[in-house]
Structure 1
Amino acid sequence: MSDAILSLKNVATDIAQYHILHDVSFDVPRGKVTMLLGRNGAGKTTTLRTVMGLWAARAGQVMFNGEDIAAQPPARIARKGLAIVPEDMGIFGDLTVQENMALAAVSGPIAADRLELIFTAFPPLKTFWDMPAGNLSGGQKQMLAVARAMAEDRQLYLIDEPSKGLAPAIVSTLVWAMKSLKGAGASILMVEQNFAMARALGDYAAVMDDGRIVWTGTMDELANDTALQENLMGLSMEVA
């Protein structure tokens, strides 16, 4: 894709003696939301972690803005404008919400307009700003995890199952926040099992199975074809 912010080309990743990713190739278009879908254990989280340098690719290229970052350490990759929101949230429970946010803002204090965007998206974070993050509810911790990635202006967000275990109202808040990031020009690569959220946010989709990309296309094409969903993922993902 000519205007891809991220391109994986024949990427293979091993974890210990296990071969997890096999010849993975797909593009993430600039300024769009790409959903990475598939069954549990398909390799989706490993793909995000490989892009961020948390797992080293054994083979292939991870091209970000035309530069191969596959062999670079996570800190250097982050400074290029990438951020990851891991499935386990990655927050520090003993630190306050404010301290968690400060740690995420590596370039200095969070800009006032950025902080206002975060508080607009996630009002509880303002309410509990000076409280230990460990005291937050599960949904509020997920808000904090996403807000940490939003602390600075990033070009690409890697987000792993942000809606997992959350109430519908909080999922709607997350959808609004992601749309705000996209509206500001950011690109997003998201792993998500909630198909309603995937359909609401996604412009494009890549489907994984057994560590391989088995289909790429528009989110609308996948969402409107239940037979394709069943063929790719073994189930229909229709949403009432």
Structure 2
Amino acid sequence: MSDPILSLSGVCTDIAQYHILQGVDLEVGRGGVTMLLGRNGVGKTTTLRTVIGHWQARAGSIRFDGQEITRMPTPDRARAGIGFVPEDMGIFSGLTVEENMTLAAASGPLDTARRDWLFSVFPPLRTFWRSAAGTLSGGQKQMLSIARAMAEERRLYLIDEPTKGLAPAIISTMVGALRELKSQGASILMVEQNFAVAKALGDQVAVMEDGCIIWTGAMADLAADAALQERLMGLSMEVEA
């Protein structure tokens, strides 16, 4: 891949006594969506958390837009242009939707045009703007979680299982919003277990197993090859879709 926006080389990450990432090599292209797929527990979430700095790599190198960030503190990585949507949403339940969004716009007040665009892709945000985030439904909280990462334009978005446990109608809204973000030229690294969503959004794909990347290629190629899906992940996307 020429001129990737994110590059991991030989990244190893330990959590307590467990060696979770065992030499991850991964590139994320500019202006597209790279899906990170694999069975549960193979290191996908740890990869995202290592990139944002919640976990520190024991070995290897992480480069973002040509800059070495392996030892950089998490706030500096965010200021450099990386947005992170954790699987557990990470919203402030006691604050209103508006206050959550205001905190997310770290460089200053939330831009009105950006807010109105977020309202257009996530209509419930407008409806519940002055409501406490803790009173939202699960799907609405997930929308808020993603909108917080999108409060400012980022150069790279790390998104961890955004559709997990959501109803089909909410998933459709989520996919539409991420397509909008993609159309703006955003670069996205996304963990997703819903393979219909992965096929709908992904340009490139990396498959993990036992803390390593075992296959990379075009999402369309993997989606079209049931035998390859079975060999890499023990399942068929065609069944899941």
Q: TM-score range by the shorter chain?
A: over 0.9
Structure 1 CA distance, aligned partners of 2:26 and 2:128?
40
Structure 1 CA distance, aligned partners of 2:113 and 2:95?
23
Task: Confirm or deny that 1:169 pairs with 2:169.
Answer: yes
1:145-160 counterparts in 2 under 5 A? 145-160=145-160
Post-superposition offset of 1:23:
0.7
Q: Which residue identity does 1:188 align to in structure 2?
A: I
Q: Give a deviation string over 1:7-37, Cα, whole Å, max 9, x none.
A: 1111000011110001100110000100000
Post-superposition offset of 1:85:
0.2
Aligned equivalent of 2:128: 128
Q: Give a deviation string over 1:196-219, Cα, whole Å, max 9, x none.
A: 000000000000011010000000
Post-superposition offset of 1:116:
1.1
Structure 2 CA distance, aligned partners of 1:82 and 1:177?
18
Structure 1: 5+ residue runs without aligned partners?
A: none
Structure 2 CA distance, aligned partners of 1:142 and 1:51?
21
Structure 1 CA distance, aligned partners of 2:2 and 2:63?
12
Q: Give a deviation string over 1:147-206, Cα, whole Å, max 9, x none.
A: 000000100000000000111111111111111111111100000000000000000000
Aligned equivalent of 1:38: 38
SS at match of 1:83: strand
SS at match of 1:4: coil
Post-superposition offset of 1:237:
1.7
Structure 2 CA distance, aligned partners of 1:199 and 1:171?
14
Aligned equivalent of 1:194: 194
Moved more, 177-186 or 89-98: 177-186
Structure 2 CA distance, aligned partners of 1:126 and 1:186?
23
Q: Following TM superposition, where does structure 1 have runs of at least 4 consecutive aligned residues deviating by more than 2 angstroms?
A: none
Aligned equivalent of 1:223: 223
* TM-score for the superposition, normalised by structure 1: 0.99
Q: Which residue identity does 2:100 align to in structure 1?
A: N
Structure 1 CA distance, aligned partners of 2:4 and 2:178?
19
Structure 1 CA distance, aligned partners of 2:85 and 2:217?
24
Structure 2 CA distance, aligned partners of 1:170 and 1:58?
38
SS at match of 1:22: strand
Aligned equivalent of 1:212: 212
SS at match of 2:193: coil
Structure 2 CA distance, aligned partners of 1:173 and 1:124?
10
Task: Confirm or deny that 1:66 pairs with 2:66.
Answer: yes
Structure 2: 5+ residue runs without aligned partners?
A: none
Structure 2 CA distance, aligned partners of 1:3 and 1:170?
35
Structure 1 CA distance, aligned partners of 2:117 and 2:211?
36
Structure 1 CA distance, aligned partners of 2:88 and 2:134?
13
Structure 2 CA distance, aligned partners of 1:3 and 1:166?
35
Post-superposition offset of 1:40:
0.2
Q: Percent identity?
A: 67
Aligned equivalent of 1:106: 106
Instruction: Tell me the C-alpha RMSD between the 2 structures.
Output: 0.7
Q: Which residue identity does 1:16 align to in structure 2?
A: A
Structure 2 CA distance, aligned partners of 1:178 and 1:5?
18
Q: Give a deviation string over 1:63-107, Cα, whole Å, max 9, x none.
A: 101111010110000000001000000001111000110110100
SS at match of 2:58: strand
Post-superposition offset of 1:3:
2.0
SS at match of 2:115: helix
Structure 2 CA distance, aligned partners of 1:226 and 1:88?
31
SS at match of 2:237: coil
**Aligned residue pair count:** 240
Q: Which residue identity does 1:114 align to in structure 2?
A: R
Structure 1 CA distance, aligned partners of 2:182 and 2:122?
17
Aligned equivalent of 1:139: 139
Aligned equivalent of 1:48: 48
Structure 2 CA distance, aligned partners of 1:114 and 1:21?
36
